[in-house]
Structure 1
Amino acid sequence: MRKSIIIGNWKLNGNQNMVNELILKIRQELDQIIVSCTVVIAPPMVYLERAAHALVGSNILLAAQNVDINTIGAFTGETSVQMLKDIGVKYIIIGHSERRTLHKENDILIAKKFIAVKEMGLIPILCIGETEAQRKSGSTYIVCAHQLDSILKILGTSDIFTDVVIAYEPVWAIGTGKSATPKQAQDIHKFIRNHIAQYNIKAAQEILIQYGGSVNSINAAELFMQPDIDGALVGNASLKADTFALIVKSCK
């Protein structure tokens, strides 16, 4: 049976005090409920080590929001997978829509990052999803399939979907307050699982596919009731400890 996962993506938010206070509050909130899913937070890169110290003694795991493809050398300003692993990071977000659009990351670069994360024994959180224009043109399934196939094409093996989290994030819903309906999200999650099954049935059954598109404490429970939705990649709502805890509580 798959164990759902809730990941709080803090994006470009925070300072030293906020990191300490928010983690403390999240820990206090989660101590008051039964947590039946894996809980992960992804603070900004500069605060990851501080977050790691603040998480000691808790069951909350640490994720990075990005990573470079290189391991060592003259790559000013970059951070390697080894460095992230060294400070306690277990998950790394790959191919987030904001990286694809704002930083022009293409499928080839995302696949190389995916490889780097897997080779170091960490877990990639591979983000896929369509823009509003692609949705309106009826291309949602085509876009999602292409983004998955681009990983398979470069790596050449279906085993790469073992120990991976897929985050379906409809780009048109991120940070807008809009959200796919539970049925819409379920249909696409099922499509993603079935698409992976064409290559590796066992991996498709075991892979965690989470939803990421303006998830909040109101819509979370109904989303998590869907058979192919294994949690959520949470943005703004993860910056409020009580709200984040309610989302975690909704995850059975």
Structure 2
Amino acid sequence: MRLPMIAGNWKMHKSIKEGVAFVEAIKSDVADTDVEVLICAPYTLLQSLVKAAEGTNVKIGAQNMHYEDKGAFTGEVTADMLLEIGVTHVIIGHSERRQYYNETDETVNLKTLKALAKGLVPVVCVGETLEQREASETKAICKSQVEKAFSGISGDAAKTVVVAYEPIWAIGTGKTASSQDANDVIAYIREVLTALYGDEISEEIRIQYGGSVKPANVAEIMNESDIDGALVGGASLEPDSFVQLVNF
């Protein structure tokens, strides 16, 4: 039985004070949930959020990291830097990183390998553009991205990876794939993972959906057979909304 994960991706939002207040506001209301609770915040908030979340079931993740251990990479942070302050998860390959900051399938793979080697849980994002969807290329794009992201990753390590299917056309647009469409693509991604690792391992890998998830549609999405959680942007920014998502 896969443990569902509800993850908030705050993107470029919130001060330290606002972030700590958020954790304080939600921690008792999500304490007894049957899902894994994750908040992925800007770098400047991470250490304070880890401290605020001590003794709770709220885990704190980063939104990106570099694949090298050190070097002349201005503006980047390493896995060790994240681990040093208590971060447990990291988003890799979000569509906004791919679109605006030249993230490639190769760097997604390198970052995933590094996160696994260091003991961070990678949340690896895959998904198609609107043009690719309209050209009926959704499955081909997802297959290629998944295969490249998992290149060189052992079966034991693969079990700890979380995949987030995020159709790019549904991120921040208010549009969302129907729950059935999302489930169909996620079931197909699991087929791709089965081809790579076999049934036993693929059945342990969690696959989330992301794309305009909100309290009004989260229950329907989570009731689908193959969807193991949600990676949520805007609807994760307010405590009441996030609590509703977690306690769907």
TM range (shorter): over 0.9
Aligned counterparts, 1:1-252, within 5 A: 1-31=1-31, 34-153=32-151, 155=152, 157-200=154-197, 201-250=199-248
- What percentage of aligned pairs have identical amino acids? 39
Cα deviation per residue 1:194-251 (whole Å; 9 max; x = unaligned)? 111012122210100000000000000000000100010010011011111111111x
The amino acid that maps onto 1:247 is: L
Number of residue pairs aligned between Structure 1 and Structure 2: 247
Mind listing any 5+ residue stretches in structure 1 that lack a counterpart? none
Indicate if the aligned counterparts of 1:29 and 1:242 stay in contact, CA closer than 8 A. Answer: no
Does the C-alpha gap of structure 1 residues 13 and 157 become closer, same or farther in structure 2, counting only changes over 3 Å? same
Q: Hey, what's the Cα distance between the residues in 1 that align with 2:240 and 2:29? A: 6
CA contact (8 A) 1:72 1:80 kept: yes
How far 1:16 sits from its partner (Å)? Answer: 2.0
Q: Provide TM-score, normalisation by structure 1.
A: 0.95
Distance 2:223 2:104 in 1: 33
Cα deviation, residue 161, structure 1: 1.9
Contact preservation (8 Å) 1:152, 1:158: no
TM-score between the two structures when normalised by the length of structure 2: 0.96
The one-letter code sitting in structure 2 at the alignment partner of 1:48 is L
How far off is 1:76 after superposition?
A: 2.6
**Match of 1:24, as an amino acid?**
E
User: Is the Cα contact below 8 Å between 2:113 and 2:153 reproduced in 1?
Assistant: no
Cα deviation, 1:5-26, whole Å, max 9, x if unaligned, reads: 0100000001122112111112
Unaligned runs of 5+ in 2: none
Q: Any conservation in 2 of the 1:29–1:241 contact (CA below 8 Å)?
A: no
In 2, distance between residues paired with 1:116 and 1:57? 28
